[in-house]
Amino acid sequence: MTVSDAEQGSGPGTKGAGSAAMGADADDGYRPSARRLERERYRRARTRRAFLIAAVSTLVTAAVLYVLVVGSPGWDRTRETFFDAHYARTSFPDIMRGLWLNLRLLVVCGAVVLVAGLLVALLRTLRGPVFFPLRALATAYVDFFRGLPLIICILVCVFGIPALRLRGVTTDPVLLGGLALCLTYTAYVAEVFRAGIETVHPSQRAAARSLGLSNSQAMRYVVLPQAVRGVVPPLLNDLVSLQKDTGLVSIGGAVDAVYAAQITASEKFNYTPYVVAGLIFVVITIPMTRFTDWVAARMNRRQAQGGAV
Amino acid sequence: MSAQAPESGDAPGPAAMEAGAALRKEPGLAQEPVLRVESVRKSYGGSLVLRDIGLEVPPHSVTVLIGASGSGKSTLLRCANLLEDVDDGAIFLDGEEITDPRTDQDAVRRRIGVVFQAYNLFPHMTVLDNITLAPRRVHKEPRAAAEARGRELLDRLGLADRAGEYPDRLSGGQQQRVALVRAVATRPRLLLLDEITAALDPELVGEVLAVVRDLKEQGMTMVVATHEMAFAREVADQVCFLDGGVVLESGTPQEVFGAPRRPRTREFLRRITEAGRL
């Protein structure tokens, strides 16, 4: 259906043919043939069968997993330590208070990282000898911070910078930890943007330049919009990763969700708060994923030709 | 190179207001060719594509480049639009050398329109945005004026109802016609068409060539690389046969197609004829 619509609608001189083809049961005396009805019956039967198989398969898998976990020798002990309803309830408010810090860090660092990452990527694509130092600096920056383990970067920022005893420079572990997150993630995100810029076909740049657009205009109006569309999924991946890594600022003593869980866990010798914190992180990333899926799908719907595949 | 095409004259055609900018020229320079190519040499890596190319394109004339694949037609067009640097020789636009490294390349490209074989429309913009991008961003026309003109051009090609569509939803022929509108929307002095029908189904070729014919009537100066010999014969004022990196033979279509002097030209035309394209 969709395929034939798209083909009919795009031919020259078939203006309005799209709407005519929309209803396959247009008023032309068409009656579905026996062949079509038989095919549709077959497809429905196949769908029912597939659904049944999926349901059975899921149930079997769940049962096997359940027996494996619950039947394991240490299950009772594990359940007490990791899945205790009482500790889950009592630790929940503290974890949520800590989570507020994670979310603030995510929003602020995420915004900084996206802007700075794009800037660094653009610096790396600059042509011309004047920009050599900028280009070299951007490349060195990315090489260094992409390789440096985040935890070391945080340790250096959180403990190293205060050790300098500079006047007017903060010693707040949240700010310094956030700085470390930004430094590392900007390097990752810059590479994602650069990959996106490089996947835009050179003919697009050629077309833009032939129209008289300058190098930077071609980048701004033609290359970047296409590059960004292509890298939304990997960017989201990095943002989710950033969200989880905001937990590492607890190294410097800031109380985030993970640290709040740790406090309870070490007081009560029960790991349930960790499980609670982990699940909360999972739950808040899911809407982000769905949102980007939706954005990507909307972009495709608007631009691309319809089709069955 | 003394290939002189029949001059289409100083009298602007009836539809001349469309190519207004292209028709305006300084008095006394009437015979100055729009494009002059002098001893251009260009190689990629080890392979020499253009050995010694020379040709002149008078105002309001159509020069058609023919020749086998790989004979350098596209390379010559890319050099003329400064998408490639020439190794040696010079190219002049309205008497001004544009292959000098000191020229402002963006300013030169603003005066030349190009249409590519693969359309190269911008997939993230609607048809109308594709057309108005250069007028608005490069020539600083207000959005309303640029869009009004864009719609008017689309309307003339029967594409008015496609203004809000994205290029991927159009047929190849429609995309290529939009690409032609995009190229002329900035009122270029010279239009370069690089095998613009080569990627199209035969049934869609006609609608694109009709647009080119229309542009010729309006007095647009064009250089066209093509394999459509029938079209070349019809639309060309001057035909240049490229072979071995030089313009081996040039003249009016009657001369080149009717009585080719060079054996290589005859052989090329015979091969094309046998392929059923003449």
Tens-place pLDDT, residues B6-44: 444 444 444 444 444 444 444 444 568 999 999 999 998
Are residues B185 and B131 in contact, defined by beta-carbon separation less than 8 angstroms? Answer: yes
- Residue A197's alpha-carbon distances to A6, A145, A193, B94, B261, in angstroms, are 30, 21, 6, 36, 50
Contact at CB, B171 and A15, closer than 8 angstroms: no
Mutate to test the interface with B, among A197, A211, A217 (most CBs of B within 10 A): A211
Structure tokens, B31: 């015979």
Mutate to test the interface with A, among B81, B117, B124 (most CBs of A within 10 A): B124
Spell out which residues of chain B touch residue A203, defining contact as CB-CB under 8 Å.
116, 118, 120
Of A212, A302, A303, the CB nearest to B134: A212
- DSSP reduced 3-state for A275: helix
Give me the helices (H) in A126-256, please: 132-147, 150-155, 161-163, 173-199, 202-210, 215-217, 224-230, 232-245
Q: Does A210 touch chain B (CB under 8 A)?
A: yes
Q: What angle do CA B129, B135, B137 make, to 5 degrees?
A: 80
For residue B162, give how far its alpha carbon lies from the nearest alpha carbon of chain A (Å).
10
Contact at CB, A210 and B109, closer than 8 angstroms: yes
Are residues A95 and A276 in contact, defined by beta-carbon separation less than 8 angstroms? Answer: yes
Q: Which chain B residue shows the shortest CA-CA distance from A304?
A: B168
Structure tokens, A17: 């043919």
Give the count of Cβ contacts less than 8 A between chain A and B: 83
The number of residues making up chain B comes to 278
Give the residue numbers in B contacting A (CB under 8 Å), as ranges.
Answer: 81, 83, 106-107, 109-114, 116, 118, 120-124, 133-134, 137-139, 158, 161, 166, 168-171, 173-174, 182-183, 186, 204, 207
Q: How far is CA A223 from the centre of its chain?
A: 22
Q: In this structure, which amino acid lies at residue B241?
A: F
- The whole-number pLDDT of residue A240 equals 85
- The whole-number pLDDT of residue A305 equals 52
Mutate to test the interface with A, among B129, B169, B207 (most CBs of A within 10 A): B169
Q: Does A221 touch chain B (CB under 8 A)?
A: yes
- Say what percent of chain B tops pLDDT 90: 66
Q: Which residues of chain A have pLDDT under 50?
A: 1-23, 306-309
Instruction: Decide if pLDDT at B219 tops 70.
Output: yes
> With the C-alpha atoms ordered B181, B186, B190, B192, is the resulting torsion angle positive or negative?
negative
Contact at CB, A217 and B137, closer than 8 angstroms: yes
- The whole-number pLDDT of residue A11 equals 41
Give the β-pairing of B88-93 and B238-243.
unpaired
Structure tokens, A31: 């009656």
> With the C-alpha atoms ordered B121, B126, B128, B130, is the resulting torsion angle positive or negative?
negative
Higher pLDDT, A19 or B218: B218
- DSSP reduced 3-state for B109: helix
Contact at CB, B133 and A15, closer than 8 angstroms: no
Of A204, A212, A302, the CB nearest to B109: A212
Q: Which chain A residue shows the shortest CA-CA distance from B81?
A: A210
The residue behind tokens 């008023």 is A27
For residue B274, give how far its alpha carbon lies from the nearest alpha carbon of chain A (Å).
30
Are residues B65 and B225 in contact, defined by beta-carbon separation less than 8 angstroms? Answer: yes
- The whole-number pLDDT of residue B21 equals 43
- Residue A247's alpha-carbon distances to A178, A235, A277, B48, in angstroms, are 10, 19, 10, 61
Q: Going from the N-terminus, what domains does chain B have, and what CATH number goes with each? A: 32-121+190-274 (3.40.50.300)
DSSP notation for B195-257: STTTTS-HHHHHHHHHHHHHHHHTT--EEEE-S-HHHHHHH-SEEEEEETTEEEEEE-HIIII
Q: What is the pLDDT of residues B62-121, one digit of tens each?
A: 999 999 988 999 999 999 999 999 999 999 999 999 999 899 999 999 999 999 999 999
The residue behind tokens 């032939």 is A210
